[in-house]
Amino acid sequence: MFKGWDPEVEDTVTADVTYVAQWEKATANKPTKKITATDVNKMQIRAYAVGTEIIHPGKEMYSSTPTIKAAGVAYEIGAIEGNDVDGYTTTVTFHFLSGDKFEAAARTSFNTNKNLLAVSGWKENFVGDWMYAFGNEKFEADQTLTLYWVTSVNPFTGRLTGSWQIPSTVSGGLTNNITSAVANLIHAYLYLPTSTVTYTDGVEGVELFADQVYTANNGSTTPAFEGTPEREGYTFEGWDPKVAETVYEDVTYTAVGEA
């Protein structure tokens, strides 16, 4: 858009002068189509499991197909920015929050995916209470997806139209298949926290048996005590507290008996 001259044109000529045209980038073709909640909820995000390369060398394990949809993730849709010269963009910023539906869906995928359970050592070592891994550039709680407005001409009507597109990791350009392509750009990383389980005899001054200490994934089955506790003159009655079926925190089980 022409905005005028610099300097402002004088009424009369008094000396040599150059007037420079001033321009402002127009927004006449600013798109009216916005990204909606319906669009975002259909987007698919890939969940990665931190630490799985231990049993699958060189490869990260990620959520099974179909990739988990973004429904259940907090998000914020940005304003449409830009102009007719440079183009237009908008954003969707995802806010991954501990305890949200996406974290739960990823946990279910990791714990029940038959292909992953078939990997040697998977079930014993990596099934459990998966949680978001936040804390560095790779594991970001907030991630922003940028969409670009791509215009085209309707071959039948000659009218200018367009669509929101995102970078494609396949073609190197842009793709309007934003539902599934988001999975290549937005990644949620989860890790499997562990706890310590200790079995002890609870007798001062005498060691009936050495403490048995186990490290187990939260959400996995509690490791069992190996053997049977024995103490002369006593009948073993169990553990205090009662052994839980699954592991969720550090715990010490103390043998109890009756004389």
pLDDT band at residue 55 using 50, 70 and 90 as cut-offs: low
In this structure, are strands 61-62 and 81-83 parallel, antiparallel, or unpaired?
unpaired
CATH for 194-258 is: 2.60.40.4270
pLDDT for 121 equals 66
Average model confidence (pLDDT) across the chain: 89
Neighbouring C-alpha atoms within 13 Å toward the C-beta of 150: 14
pLDDT, tens digit, 9 for 90 and up, residues 208-244: 999 999 999 898 889 999 999 999 899 999 999 999 9
pLDDT band at residue 58 using 50, 70 and 90 as cut-offs: confident
| 108-114 mean pLDDT | 85
Domain boundaries, the chain: 37-191, 194-258
pLDDT, tens digit, 9 for 90 and up, residues 124-166: 777 889 999 987 667 889 999 999 999 987 777 777 789 999 9
Q: Of the ranges 30-44, 55-69, 93-107, 220-234, which one carries the lowest mean pLDDT score?
A: 55-69
**Is the pLDDT assigned to residue 64 strictly greater than 80?**
no
pTM: 0.76
**Is the pLDDT assigned to residue 198 strictly greater than 80?**
yes
